[in-house]
Amino acid sequence: DPDVVKEFEKQYPDLLRLTTYLQNNHFPLFKNNQVEYFPMAEDAFEAIFEEIKKAKRFILVNFFIIGEGTLWNRMHEALLARIKEGVRVLFLYDDLGAVLRTPRKFKKYLEKEGFEVRVFNPIHKYTDKLYLNYRSHQKIVVIDGNVGFTGGMNLADEYVNLVPRFGVWKDNAVKITGDAVWALTVTFLQMWEASGSSVNYEEFMPTGSPESDVFCQVISDGPANNPRNPIEDFYKQMIYRAKKVLYITTPYLIIEDDMRDALIAAAAGGVDVRIITPHIPDKKNVKILTNYHYGKLLEGGVRIFEYTPGFIHAKTMLNEDSAVVGTINMDYRSFHLHYECGVWICNKDVVDTIKNDLLKTMEECHEVTIEEWKKRPYIIKIYEKILKVFSTLL
């Protein structure tokens, strides 16, 4: 909508280049949104369950990991209740993310109950193909086309701290009400079609949206639909456009040289660059490689904070003007191999809410120093060099 772009330019003239880049990569700019930020996944799922109760037409659900347990039982019951009331439920999940934690006939069980189910990239079909490595890491829930959710969380108990894994598990998410939900719907339907036959998009159109001046753009990419990996380039642009602050949360900090240099350049330019990573890892080798990447960043003035209560799985990038919340890790796998999604948000109140959560999180963190980093054991230093060779596979 050219009028929306003109209004955006009036309010955010310094961000015109960023939104134009996204538009040129087929991610439309939307106004008229309400955004609610959830600092923990358990808060997000409570909001999801409340919205599911209100569903009248359809519910779209897409997760990378499905794990049987208390959270899945609650989700299953909530969705089944709406199916019995005539609501369509389209349920999409990645095969690799569910194969070890669901029954062998999981898909058939759901279909018998009235779910419409598709499985992305079935393992049994492609075990001899290199694209077995290409997974859908997206997390999307859309209710009636008017309300949508995305974030780092998966549909398993550890993500909402119902079972203890790696200490306190911190994830984040956003709820969008308004025009930008259509982009989440389209992102879901693209992956739905990639996992089966085509659909009529008009059946999933929104029915209304609030008036507001909150601008959003839903971003997504993957090895097939966006080979140029626009999210990685967009992250670099956010880094270079930062003037005062740049805060990042990521469970995996395995970045390439150009991303590292962009962060260092921002810090050298006076930007307060801070990155939050886990203190307790879920993958030990990835943690060792993450720590390896601390060195040049710390030397370049970037501050590193490790989340001491446990494992931070949230994926966030924030500067003084805007923020991205979604499924995107700061590693090769996310930028090049996985299908990812997120929401870029331009609104001072929302950005301040996210910033305050990250500052509060930093109070629970241990700040890593360059002196501390240099004292890591010699055997770890050798092992890091070996892991670095295989970093794109981790």
pLDDT tens digits, one per residue of 254-271: 898 999 999 999 999 999
Cα dist from 204 to 197, 258, 300, whole Å: 16, 40, 48
Residue 308: per-residue pLDDT: 97
Average pLDDT over residues 130-137: 77
Residue 289: per-residue pLDDT: 85
For the stretch 347-368, pLDDT in tens is 999 999 999 999 999 999 999 9
Instruction: Count other Cβ atoms within 10 Å, centred on residue 230.
Output: 19
Using 50, 70 and 90 to split pLDDT, how confident is the model at 391?
Answer: low
What is the pTM for the complete model shown?
Answer: 0.94
Decide if pLDDT at 119 tops 80. yes
Contacts of 251 (CB under 8 A, 6+ apart): 277, 278, 282, 311, 312, 313, 314, 315, 329
Q: And the tokens for 206? A: 């929104």
Radius of gyration, CA atoms only, the chain = 20
Start-to-end CA distance of the chain, whole Å, equals 41
11-20, long-range: CB < 8 A, 24+ apart: 11/213, 11/215, 11/346, 12/215, 12/321, 12/346, 14/241, 14/321, 15/241, 15/321, 15/322, 15/346, 17/237, 17/241, 18/234, 18/237, 18/238, 18/241, 18/322, 18/344, 19/215, 19/217
More reliable by pLDDT, 336 or 22: 22
Average pLDDT over residues 214-238: 88
Residue 21: per-residue pLDDT: 96
The span from the CA of 85 to the CA of 168, in Å, is: 37
For the stretch 53-67, pLDDT in tens is 999 999 999 999 999
Helix, strand or coil for residue 226?
coil
Class of residue 232 by CB neighbours under 10 A (exposed 0-12, middle 13-18, buried 19+): buried
Contact criterion met (CB below 8 Å) for 64 and 137: yes
Residue 385: per-residue pLDDT: 76
Average pLDDT over residues 103-130: 85
